[in-house]
Amino acid sequence: MFHWFLIFIATIFLSTAFSKPLYQLFFKKINLPFFLNNMYKFRIVFFFVGFFLVFFALFIESIGS
């Protein structure tokens, strides 16, 4: 059941990485660390975090079955 929660969180990260309005909402509301102050770095980090969460969720699911 936990893997569905991870997939939900990953969906938020991936949609933020690919959607300009969501990106702007996050970028304006959050005080970002210096290494994420560039739009492309921010979106790349969000993409890879989401990608990792999806694979981690699939790994948890494969162990549970």
pLDDT tens figures, 11-60: 888 887 777 777 677 666 666 666 666 677 777 888 888 889 888 888 88
Half-sphere exposure (CA, 13 Å, Cβ side) for 13?
18
Per-residue pLDDT at 31: 66
Domain ranges of the chain: 2-64
Within the chain, where are the H helices?
A: 2-18, 20-29, 39-64
Taking the CA of residue 10 as centre, how many other CA atoms within 13 Å lie in the half-sphere pointing to its CB?
Answer: 17
Tell me what pLDDT residue 14 has: 83
Q: Between the CA of residue 27 and those of 5, 6, 36, 48, 56, what are the distances in Å?
A: 24, 22, 9, 17, 26
Q: 19 phi and psi, to 5 degrees?
A: -110, 120
